[in-house]
């Protein structure tokens, strides 16, 4: 009965892949019923990977955005090799994406890019703002006054890629390419994006794409060329549902899927997690989210007031000396380590036991 109200629980029990983190179905179901408003009726099920592929083939494949649909090759534009191909010698393209807006993609892309640059001084990192018309990444990196040329200028040949890149003043191995503030989103073409990414991947070891929200032009271009995708979600159903759509889309419609190459490596980054609310059943728990989305976790970033301060100061929380002890700083640092292959336990995912004095005096 519960599973008919909460189809994803049925999906989980039907699925052969056992949950990585333990979840008692009854607890989960009960708390979701408590949390959800009475009027909530799930409109669609969370799909299995097979269903996702079929769905995207029938719905998404029929409605490609104009830029992705036009594939007539333009002569001088570079092609982006897949890094696993022999002799490719190109960097990896990592998309930070979500589906839903405002979940923490840009915040995460900024800390992630700076974290890799800080931890791997011998590697070069470039982070690109794909949010055409709504640029923000430059603010997160404290570079808003240094933007002269942007991504669309490069695509339109108004300048070279290196003229448009902004070098970070703290880490010389980190550069940024800003989004255009004003130009039309349709200025992105698949050939133009591939040309810019190919030029960058020749030079940089990691090319990180800060995707806009949605599954329209900008987000689709960002995910299309990805080798790795970091799917950002908050602990709420709407954000998980949109993440699920993006996961399906990447599985079926990315360049790797279309070329029958090894699949895009997709991992899950939960942001704005509040363990206290999860323990009180006021939000989804980590295991609920993993059960819904079925991806490995690359990190869990706690809700933190430091994030806003750091954004306003143009210093990603991962490199903020003032907030070095903030849980978000440690959580982003762990996330970067995991992405780079280290195995680390999740921190900041449970509530601190109250101290002796707090228990006595409140
Ligand atoms: N861990 C966190 N704790 C508290 N606030 C956060 C956290 N992460 C992000 N935020 C806040 O959430 C808001 C949205 O963040 P951000 O702009 O990074 O999201 P986004 O996914 O890039 O949004 P968009 O889809 O519009 O591009 C910002 O106000 C940011 O300060
Ligand atoms: Mg953003």
> Would you say residue 134 lies in a domain?
yes
Alpha-carbon torsion, ordered 25, 332, 231, 35, to 10 deg: 40
pLDDT value of residue 44 = 42
pLDDT value of residue 38 = 36
pLDDT value of residue 362 = 53
Residue 138: give its domain's CATH number. Answer: 3.40.50.300
> Would you say residue 34 lies in a domain?
no
Q: Is 290 in the pocket of ligand 1 (CB under 6 A)?
A: no
pLDDT value of residue 52 = 54
Residue 314 belongs to domain spanning: 55-66+78-344
> Would you say residue 150 lies in a domain?
yes
Q: How far is CA 43 from CA 14, 199, 241, 294, 308, in A?
A: 20, 43, 10, 20, 34
> Would you say residue 48 lies in a domain?
no
pLDDT value of residue 28 = 43
In angstroms, what is the span from residue 296 Cα to ligand 1's centroid? 22
Reading the chain (362 residues) residue by residue, the pLDDT tens digits are 333 333 333 333 333 333 322 333 333 434 433 433 333 333 345 555 555 555 444 333 334 444 444 434 456 889 999 998 888 889 999 999 999 999 999 999 999 999 999 999 999 999 999 998 899 999 999 999 999 999 999 998 999 999 999 999 999 999 999 999 876 767 888 999 999 999 999 999 999 999 999 888 889 999 999 999 999 999 999 999 999 999 999 999 999 999 999 999 999 999 999 999 999 999 999 999 999 999 999 999 999 999 999 999 999 999 999 999 999 999 999 999 999 999 999 999 998 766 666 656 65
> Would you say residue 21 lies in a domain?
no
d(CA 316, CA 323): 10
Which ligand sits closest to the CA of 332? 1
> Would you say residue 351 lies in a domain?
no
> Would you say residue 357 lies in a domain?
no
Which ligand sits closest to the CA of 269? 1
Per-position DSSP letters for 110-144, written without gaps between them: HHHHHHHHHH-TTS-EEEEE--TTS--HHHHTT-G
Q: Is 272 in the pocket of ligand 1 (CB under 6 A)?
A: yes
> Would you say residue 7 lies in a domain?
no
Ligand 1: which atom is nearest the Cα of residue 100?
25
In angstroms, what is the span from residue 312 Cα to ligand 1's centroid? 12
pLDDT value of residue 51 = 56
Ligand 1: which atom is nearest the Cα of residue 328?
1
Domain count, the chain: 1
d(CA 160, CA 122): 25
Indicate the top mutation candidate among 96, 114, 307 to test ligand 1's pocket, ranked by most ligand atoms within 8 A of CB. Answer: 307
pLDDT value of residue 355 = 62
Q: Is 104 in the pocket of ligand 1 (CB under 6 A)?
A: yes
Residues 193, 225: contact at Cβ < 8 Å?
yes
């Amino acid at each position: 009965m519960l599973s008919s109200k909460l189809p994803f629980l049925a999906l989980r029990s039907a699925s052969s892949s056992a949950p990585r983190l333990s979840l008692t179905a009854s607890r989960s179901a009960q708390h979701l019923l408590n949390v959800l408003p009475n009027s909530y009726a799930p409109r669609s099920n969370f799909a299995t990977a097979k269903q996702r592929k079929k769905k995207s083939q029938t719905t998404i494949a029929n409605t490609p955005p104009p830029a992705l649909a036009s594939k007539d090759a333009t002569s001088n534009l570079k092609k982006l090799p897949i890094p696993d191909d022999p002799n490719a010698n190109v960097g990896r393209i990592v998309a930070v994406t979500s589906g839903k807006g405002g979940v923490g993609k840009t915040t995460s892309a900024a800390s992630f890019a700076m974290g890799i640059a800080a931890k791997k001084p011998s590697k070069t990192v470039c982070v690109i703002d794909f949010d055409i018309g709504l640029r923000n990444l430059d603010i997160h990196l404290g570079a808003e006054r240094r933007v002269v040329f942007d991504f669309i200028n490069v695509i339109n040949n108004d300048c070279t890629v290196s003229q448009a890149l902004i070098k970070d003043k703290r880490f010389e191995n980190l550069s940024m390419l800003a989004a255009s503030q004003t130009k039309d989103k349709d200025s992105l073409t698949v050939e133009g994006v591939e040309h810019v990414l190919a030029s960058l991947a020749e030079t940089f070891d990691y090319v990180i794409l800060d995707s806009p929200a949605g599954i329209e032009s900008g987000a689709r271009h960002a995910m299309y060329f990805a080798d790795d995708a970091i799917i950002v979600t908050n602990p709420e159903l709407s954000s998980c549902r949109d993440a699920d759509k993006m996961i399906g889309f990447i599985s079926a419609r990315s360049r790797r899927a279309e070329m029958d190459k090894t699949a895009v490596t997709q991992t899950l980054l939960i942001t704005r997690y509040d363990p206290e609310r999860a323990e009180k059943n006021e939000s989804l728990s980590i295991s609920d989210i993993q059960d819904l989305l079925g991806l490995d976790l690359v990190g869990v970033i706690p809700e933190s007031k430091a994030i806003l301060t750091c954004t306003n100061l143009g210093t990603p929380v991962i490199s903020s000396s003032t907030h070095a002890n903030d849980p978000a700083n440690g959580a982003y640092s762990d996330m970067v380590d995991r992405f780079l292959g280290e195995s680390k336990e999740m921190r900041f995912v449970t509530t601190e036991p109250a101290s002796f004095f707090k228990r006595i005096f409140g």
